Amino acid sequence: LLDDPVFFISLKNSLLYLLIVPAIQLGAIVLAVLVNNALPGIKLFRAAFYVPVVTSVSVVGIMWGWMYNEQGLINAVLQWLHLINDPIGWLSDDRLALFSLMLVTLWRGLGWYMVLYLAALQAIPNDLEEAAVLDGASRWQRFWQITIPMIMPTILLCTVLSTLAAMKVLEEVLIMTKGGPVSSTYTGLYYAYDQGIRAFNFPRALAASLVVSVFCLAIAWLNFRFLRPRHR
């Protein structure tokens, strides 16, 4: 492994993928708070955000591949808004391809974590909110002093799950870029897949899988170490 620069690129990309973890958690919490209201059409809104979760990865890859195409929807909208002059190669530019895949992963996972946070929000006893209102606490104070502490176990769970998911990204790469352009979207797991399935280099594939597993365990331990509630 140490003599293959692509392996180090794949590890770097897997670690870069961790950038979506705080983004997806923050987005999911905000969405859960927004949909945790009895408003007209709110059930339809919840369902719309959950659709990517139950949609086949193949369908998602084809859809986003078309949107990212130089003649696709994203470039068309940006040109219509006069934000760009020439089409952008979202998946053909080695500087943009990985971040384009990260956006797809974020979009796919947002609804799943939103549902988990919504369940946690609805489990908070109404008595706590009512008592805080009577004490004169503002909405912001109630959010930070009641909501966040009460859903902290769910935050820990979702952070660990999303971290492990980010470290194990495979399907998006396999369907949309196959590691290209010039190995810029290789991830640790895709490297192991490529070595084992395409090159039939099973020892190298096993070694890469073990390295990814060690990283996953280490990051999961760090999450539990720093995010778990501390009882006084």
At 114-163, the pLDDT tens digits run 999 999 999 988 888 888 888 888 888 889 988 999 999 999 999 999 99
In a domain, 201, yes or no: yes
What is the pTM assigned to this prediction? 0.90
In a domain, 97, yes or no: yes
In a domain, 198, yes or no: yes
Look at 133 and 27; give whichever has higher pLDDT: 27
- Contact yes or no for 64/104 (Cβ under 8 A): yes
Q: Can you give the residue range of the structural domain that contains 116?
A: 5-227
What's the CATH number where 60 sits? 1.10.3720.10
CA 169/CA 198 separation, integer angstroms: 18
Q: Give the number of other Cβ atoms within 10 Å of residue 126's Cβ.
A: 7
Please state, for a pLDDT cut of 90, what percent of the chain lies above it.
Answer: 64
Element (H, E) at 44: helix 42-54
In a domain, 177, yes or no: yes
Q: In whole angstroms, what separates CA 90 from the centre of its chain?
A: 18
- Considering its fold, how many domains does the chain have in total? 1
In a domain, 173, yes or no: yes
Q: Give the number of other Cβ atoms within 10 Å of residue 127's Cβ.
A: 8
In a domain, 34, yes or no: yes
CA 202/CA 230 separation, integer angstroms: 44
Which residue in the block uniquely carries the two structure tokens 């923050």?
26
pLDDT digit string, tens, across residues 28-73: 999 999 988 877 778 888 888 889 989 998 999 999 999 999 999 9
In a domain, 232, yes or no: no
In a domain, 56, yes or no: yes
